[in-house]
Structure 1
Amino acid sequence: MMRNFMISVDNFTSGRVHTLITSAFSHISTWHLISNMVGLYFFGTSIGRYFGPKFLLKLYLSGAVAGSVFYLVYHAFIVPSLQTQRRQVLSMHPSQTPGLGASGAVNAVMLLDIFLFPTKIIYFNFVIPVPAILLGIFIVGKDVVRILEGDTQVSGSAHLGGAAMAAIAWARVRRGRF
């Protein structure tokens, strides 16, 4: 599992490039899988209906790769410098820290839907109605805070990789190149 289905700097530099994708199909728990798939279902249905299943698959996979790349950059360059500045010693070297989950891929799908339909009403936590753009700002803001606080449980960097892919896809759609 660690060698073939989780992204880490060590896996990547050891030639296990496939983990850029396979990590997006691995989850730490049933709840982790369910929460990602609920987001994919609600936002992916909209994107799939609008652009078709082939576009949705490409967006999902590119979001997975972008999330993994952002994760690698964060763990290769930013975490070590933060450790030095804060004089922290982690139990595992940042290059060995594994990541997994579909969050980067799902963020790409969710945020593209939000970018395309910013005034659409979304029910936050299935209860509170908010305009999609506010949810988008909250999602991205929360991930930036995770990075700044050094959250090791949830990868804000992978989420932001998916957000970056959504922004690229949105720009391409606006130019008519999808």
Structure 2
Amino acid sequence: MAKCDACGREENMPYQCRHCGGTYCGDHRLPENHSCPGLENWNDPDGVFDSGFDDTVDGSGGGGWGSSTAESNGIASRLGINTGPGGILGYFRGNVTYLFLGIIWAVFLIEHIVLFTLGEAAFRALFVISPANPEYVWTWVTSIFSHAPLSLFHIGGNSIVIFFFGRIVERYVGSRDFALLFLGSGVLAGLGQIAIQAYQGNPAGALGASGAALAIMGVLTVLNPNLKVYLYFLLPVPIWVITIGYAGLSALGIVGGVGGGIAHVAHAVGLALGLLYGQRVKDKLSAPGQLQLGGGMGRGPGGPGGPGGRGPF
């Protein structure tokens, strides 16, 4: 049995909307019958869905760069980049989650090559955002995609959250806004962490995608606080419980020093940014009622409950 996201009716044979991923009964299975958020972005008469990277779609709807002609004033157009279906960015429309995951694992490999060939100094200069060298602005971004060397737990935990939660958030907010959320929250989380470290006289620095991963989880918590998540693939709990748990751990880490080696400030900043962004968009979007391993019929994609949370960041 599954519950219709529109009317709450229990259905033995529910329908899943391919545009928003929601679960619906026969009366609400059509996008126009459940106020599907995808309808707001269907602005191309030729049937090109605007997920945020296509300048050829009318920018009056949500998620586009803001142009409907080849002479648009969008950023990508001014740079001469073709963001249409056949352009280089067109391949990433709707797939930024997977793109970022690919970058994370590619960078993980590069980290080890640099560490074992050029040494720790080069590794830190390239991948670790540090209070000693905040002027290394490239590390503001590279640190998001970097993880503790030889730590599969660190990169694995973050990858699980991004894979299962990230693709849902991207589906609802669009690829462009998802990319901005991921990168923006990651950068601000890293800067927040090294600001505290500088105040404490701690030169450790930080790296990892946990801040961005918790921002993603924060967005889903606001969109649907009762979203059922199978924690550790087994225990069904609402997402708000997991979010409160991570908020509490971060608070204990910041105030009481619990959990050394974890970037608690970065976690807290990322989660706060996700919650704020979720509040900003919650009136325009809706989320599925449940996440389940294997993606059971009509219940949306499946996944575990939260970031790995360990490692430097």
TM score, norm. by length of structure 2:
0.48
Whether the 8 Å CA contact 2:221–2:275 is kept in 1: the answer is no
For 1:98, give the aligned amino acid: G
User: Quick one: distance in 1 between partners of 2:224 and 2:163?
Assistant: 17
Q: CA deviation at 1:175?
A: 6.7
Whether the 8 Å CA contact 2:222–2:279 is kept in 1: the answer is no
1:148 corresponds to which residue? 255
User: Which of the numbers 167, 176, 195 marks the counterpart of 1:54?
Assistant: 176
Residues 80-135 of structure 1 show CA distances to partners (whole Å, capped at 9, x for unaligned) of 2xxxxxxxxxxxx51x2121111001111111111111011011222111111111
1:110 corresponds to which residue? 217
Structure 1 SS opposite 2:127: coil
State the percentage of identical aligned residues.
Answer: 31
Structure 2 SS opposite 1:154: coil
2:84 corresponds to which residue? none
Change beyond 3 A, Cα 1:16–1:175: farther
User: Which of the numbers 236, 259, 271 marks the counterpart of 1:129?
Assistant: 236
1:9 corresponds to which residue? 131
Structure 1 SS opposite 2:272: helix
Q: CA deviation at 1:9?
A: 0.7
Whether 1:35 aligns to 2:166 is no
1:173 corresponds to which residue? 281
1:63 corresponds to which residue? 185
Whether the 8 Å CA contact 2:219–2:277 is kept in 1: the answer is yes
Structure 2 stretches of 5 or more lacking a match?
Answer: 1-122, 285-313
1:44 corresponds to which residue? 166
Structure 2 SS opposite 1:9: coil
The alignment yields a C-alpha RMSD, in angstroms, of 1.5
Residues 147-166 of structure 1 show CA distances to partners (whole Å, capped at 9, x for unaligned) of 22323311111101101211
User: Quick one: distance in 1 between partners of 2:282 and 2:167?
Assistant: 20
For 1:16, give the aligned amino acid: Y
For 1:24, give the aligned amino acid: I
For 2:221, give the aligned amino acid: I
For 1:102, give the aligned amino acid: A
User: Which of the numbers 195, 198, 209 marks the counterpart of 1:73?
Assistant: 195
Whether 1:22 aligns to 2:133 is no
For 2:146, give the aligned amino acid: S
- Higher RCO by CA contacts (8 Å cutoff, separation 6 or greater): 1
User: Quick one: distance in 1 between partners of 2:190 and 2:136?
Assistant: 12
User: Quick one: distance in 1 between partners of 2:272 and 2:138?
Assistant: 21
User: Quick one: distance in 1 between partners of 2:283 and 2:217?
Assistant: 20
Structure 1 SS opposite 2:154: helix
Q: CA deviation at 1:167?
A: 2.4
For 2:267, give the aligned amino acid: H
Q: State the structure with more CA Rg.
A: 2
- The alignment covers a number of residue pairs equal to 159
Whether 1:120 aligns to 2:242 is no
Whether the 8 Å CA contact 1:11–1:19 is kept in 2: the answer is no
Whether the 8 Å CA contact 2:146–2:207 is kept in 1: the answer is yes
